[in-house]
Amino acid sequence: MKSRKLRVVFGGVLVGVVLSLVPLAGIAYETQLDARAIHEAYVLGQRNDKATGDFLANYLSQISEAQNGPHIAEIALLTPYAQIVDRSRQKTTEGSTEEQAAQDYKSRGNVIRVNIVLMLPTAYPQTADSATTTAPATRTEKSDLRPENFWQKFQFNLKQQGKAIPSKGISNQPIHSTATNNAPAVLDGENVWLEFDVKDVGSEETTVEVITPEAKVIKATFDLKKLR
């Protein structure tokens, strides 16, 4: 497995530790984690360094394909192990503990988590002309300017061997710009999460498929035999 983001140089002893955390080709991903796996994932996330970034890069696909209107920016597929790494990484400044990581894992259960980041065009939802309108916007106009539910016009599928796998659930969270003295925060996009029972997801090539409102199909493929 090749690293894609290099930031630091490791000594011989540390490299040995890192290699033990890298998934090996041809081995099934871990559908259930024991205490040792939880510990390793938590420690790797807490480091939040080159090794962490290199590991998680294998679970993420940046979408560079040209798209019109609201578009898919990135797609991630996280195994139970990768979820602990990612959550631990996000909480490095909050004093997260290994016990909390274990409890979070127990609460989530053994699921595959797919994250799709949808972004709106830079001039959307509010243009300079609309910002200077003196008449107050109607309910319909506000909906047009800030369509928080735009993501519902997309379709999301997880497929293996061409067959769609049913999801356990779907959730979302709006992405807003940072407010300034001259402009309020506006809707920039949406984070969409889908969860799948690991019992339904085999250790093989897995495709996340997103269908846009214009019926354009965007795909990202992950080989679960090569992920942990």
> What are the pLDDT digits (tens) for 151-190?
999 999 999 999 999 999 999 999 998 889 888 888 899 9
Average pLDDT on 77-103 reads 93
Confidence of residue 27 (pLDDT cuts 50, 70, 90): confident
pLDDT for 137 equals 39
pLDDT beyond 50 at 225: yes
Average pLDDT on 91-111 reads 91
pLDDT for 14 equals 42
Cα–Cα distance between 62 and 40 in angstroms, integer? 26
pLDDT for 17 equals 42
pLDDT beyond 60 at 4: no
pTM above 0.85, yes or no: no
Average pLDDT on 125-131 reads 40
For residue range 9-18, list pLDDT tens digits in order. 334 444 444 4
pLDDT beyond 90 at 56: yes
CA distances to 1, 8, 90 from 14, in Å: 18, 12, 22
Residue 118 identity: L
Cα–Cα distance between 134 and 5 in angstroms, integer? 48
Name which of 223, 226, 200, 218 is nearest 72 in CA terms: 218
pLDDT beyond 50 at 90: yes
Tokens describing residue 66: 């040209």
pLDDT for 93 equals 75
- Percent of the chain whose predicted confidence (pLDDT) is above 90: 62
pLDDT beyond 90 at 68: no
Cα–Cα distance between 177 and 112 in angstroms, integer? 29
Which residues partner with 75 through β-bridges? 61, 116
pLDDT beyond 60 at 7: no
Cα–Cα distance between 191 and 151 in angstroms, integer? 9
pLDDT beyond 80 at 145: no
The three state secondary structure string of the chain is: CCCCCCCCCCCHHHHHHHHHHCCCCCCCCCCCCCHHHHHHHHHHHHHCCHHHHHHHHCCEEECCCCCCCCEEEEEEEECHHHHHHHHHHHCCCCCCCHHHHHHHHHHHCCEEEEEEEEECCCCCCCCHHHHCCCCCCCHHHHHHHCCCCHHHHCEEEEEECCEECCCCEEEEEEEECCCCCCCCCCEEEEEEEEEEEHHHCCCCEEEEEEECCCCCEEEEEEEHHHCC
118 C-beta neighbours (distance < 10 Å), count: 22
